[in-house]
Amino acid sequence: MESKAGSRFAAVEALTSMDRLGDSDNCTYAREEARPPVIALARPDIGELEIQLVNRVLRSDFLSMGEMTPEFERALADYVGAPHAIAVSSGTAGLHCLVRALGIGPGDEVVTTSFSFVASSNVLLYEGARPVFADIEPEQLCLDPDLVEAAITPRTRSILAVDVFGHPCRLDRLKAIADDCGIPLIDDACEALGAELNGVKIGAPGQADAAVFAFFPNKQITTGEGGMVVTGDGRIAAMCRSLRNQGRGEGDQWLVHERLGYNYRLDELGAALGVGQLARIEELLERRDRVADLYRQRLTRVHGVKTYPVAPGVRMSWFVYVVRLDAAIDRDRVARQLAGQGIPTRPYFQPIHLQPFYRERFGYRGGELPVTEAAGRSCLALPFHGRLTAEEVETVAAALEEAIVACSG
């Protein structure tokens, strides 16, 4: 009979090999896998420094609202060059705080993208605002500034951009549009920590009125769950600090609540993990760059596969590694065949406007956003993390090539 200790270690081993890619992984792909994954879809990269810092918190008297959270905030603000950084419990929480801090509410419209994780639009619905979806550019799959400009109406209160897969949007153009209209630009940079546009890190002042990063275990750095708002606007920062902590006012006075707020705090264990991860950020990004380059070199030889193109002036911060399959290839059938060989993949993204809830609430039927919908049918995320070996990349690429031949036509 297996000992309790053995059971615990088995559970830990199972967790570390989870083929989770993100919050949206409850899709049919996982249920259809014919065998356990031989290569993890995603995996955090935790070092000895992070373990030491987490242990320090465990031996302290403060598991929440201690000294690690401010330290993490200072370190991240320094890294991106932002005057203010506010740690929160998730990227979703950070976006929600920003929407509320900017006074966006019932009857307001926000121009955004449907090619994103659903949270970037859900946070608008939380406050009674309506997401107005503009289509995306066909190469980098980020918001098309021309179509954003065309979608603005007198009811538009903000633009919410998403740095897809870790590639910055054309924030310079979007900021100019927002400034001309007298509205703020929110940058959902939850997938893009470490990315740069024209030599400037995403999150730096001037690119947007505020940005949000996220630290789920598949991201560039992780805090388990967690996020960070960065901004150059002191008023926005003060409001986000209040909102994340049940609406407390300046000075964080105990049991005095000036406004409706939320429990969106990041705990000290997560903050300690973040401090350690951020200290290694360039190492972690370089490891992901290496794997992305291995994929690019190998997959350029595969007929029917298009690798993700990085625009000039961009430092990509690889969140996931996504390829696009030709229209004649049955993407979902390819994914099932790969799953049968123990190689997990995911469709990334399934457009927000075609999600069942959005169809039901807003009446979307398909055809409204042709570039977004074409990307949603053809994109496939492959196993990706910084510790993938060249041999594992070759295994994935060879299996993908074989599956494409079998599933074409």
Q: Among 119, 156, 118, 112, which residue's Cα sits nearest to residue 134?
A: 112
Measured distance between the N- and C-terminal CA atoms of the chain, rounded to whole angstroms = 52
Q: Report d(CA 149, CA 135) in Å as an integer.
A: 11
CA distances from 57 to 75, 227, 406 (A): 17, 19, 52
CA distances from 168 to 112, 136, 165, 187, 193 (A): 14, 13, 9, 9, 10
- Please give the structure tokens belonging to residue 325: 């399959």
Active site residue 4: no
Q: Is 203 left (phi over 0), alpha (psi -120 to 50) or beta?
A: left
Cβ neighbours for 377, distance < 8 A, ≥ 6 positions apart: 327, 331
- The catalytic position among 4, 175, 201, 219 is 219
**Do 218 and 42 touch, CB atoms closer than 8 A?**
yes
Residue 49, class by beta-carbon neighbours within 10 Å (0-12 exposed, 13-18 middle, 19+ buried)?
middle
Q: Report d(CA 133, CA 214) in Å as an integer.
A: 22
List, by residue number, the catalytic residues. Answer: 219
